[in-house]
Amino acid sequence: MSARARLLLFGIGAAGFGAVLVVGLAGLPAFGHYQGVYGRVLDGIGVTERHATDLVTALNFDFRAFDTLGEEFILFASVLGVVLILRQLRGERERPSQEEADEHQLAGASEALRALALVLVPALLALGVYIVVHGQITPGGGFQGGVILATGPLAVFLAGRYVRMRILAPHTVVEIGDAVGAMGYGLVGLGGLVFVGIFFKNFLPQGIPGHLLSAGQIDVASAAVGLEVSGAFLVAWSEFLDQAILVRGSADR
């Protein structure tokens, strides 16, 4: 196809797309003028029925908990794919441990960066735990908090200490965390099935809205997701890090 024909084809496509987009946007309700019924119903029963003051988390881990189960396993399966593709192949090898011992070769981090990481690691871990356990009260929850938790060990790597990061978050531990978190979320659903007769129906005491231990299954499900997400991100990152830093192809020998 010549350049001119391609441009013509693109022009037709872009004009059609633009027209549909403008028509579609014109039909949207104005910002702040929501017209659905479902949202209003949930808005009304979030605090009274589920004892959760953050409606988004209540939606994710209670009203639509089954959807979250699917999303959970999308992340789980994709991380499994990363592990499978980036496994150590024949002809590849990791650097000998002698070289690993000299960490300064891996990344030249300045003293300032190292001091910053020292401050960041506990702060990130504390923030991650806070966001995970307060999911039902304030914005945040398992997913967001889980990623923040995973950045704690990552800050150790940023300080030029990759080998230390592997000691702090070994492959087996993060893999087990990933799996246990995914299983825990499934168990919350099964708990509903066993004790109340409906999958993902709340079976735990609900407590007082706004308190740390409240909203029944939402809190537990959020914690399980937090564990799964932090494990998943750490598994994926360490696989990428292994490839970029330690693994050498056969051509390098």
Partner 1 sequence: MTLLQIAALAAVALLGGGVVAATDPLRQTFVLSIYGLALTMMFFVFQAPDVALSEIVVSTVGLPVMILLALRKVHQQEHERRREREKKNR
Q: What are the CA-CA distances from residue 19 to residues 6, 9, 22, 26 (Å)?
A: 20, 16, 5, 11
How many other C-beta atoms are found inside a 10 Å radius of the C-beta of residue 56? 13
DSSP 47-74: HHHH--S-HHHHIIIIITHHHHHHHHHH
| Euclidean distance between CA atoms 64 and 57, whole angstroms | 10
Measure the CA–CA gap between 156 and 195, rounded to whole angstroms.
43
Residue located via tokens 């794919």? 81
Among candidate residues 156, 170, 149, 139, the one with its CA nearest the CA of residue 233: 149
Task: Please say which residue, 81 or 249, places its beta carbon nearer to partner 1.
Answer: 249
Binding residues for partner 1, rule: CB under 8 A, are 31, 54, 56-57, 131, 139-141, 143-144, 147-148, 151, 154, 233, 236-237, 240-241, 243-244, 249, 251-252
76: CB partners within 8 A, 6+ apart: 178, 182, 228, 232
- Give min distance, CB of 145 to partner 1, in A: 9
CB of 57 to partner 1, least distance (A): 7
Residue closer to partner 1, measured from CB, 24 or 31: 31
Take residue 135 and report the two structure tokens written for it. Answer: 């999911």
Provide, rounded to whole angstroms, the least separation between the CB of residue 215 and partner 1. 15
Q: Which residue number, 143 or 200, has a Cβ lying nearer to partner 1?
A: 143
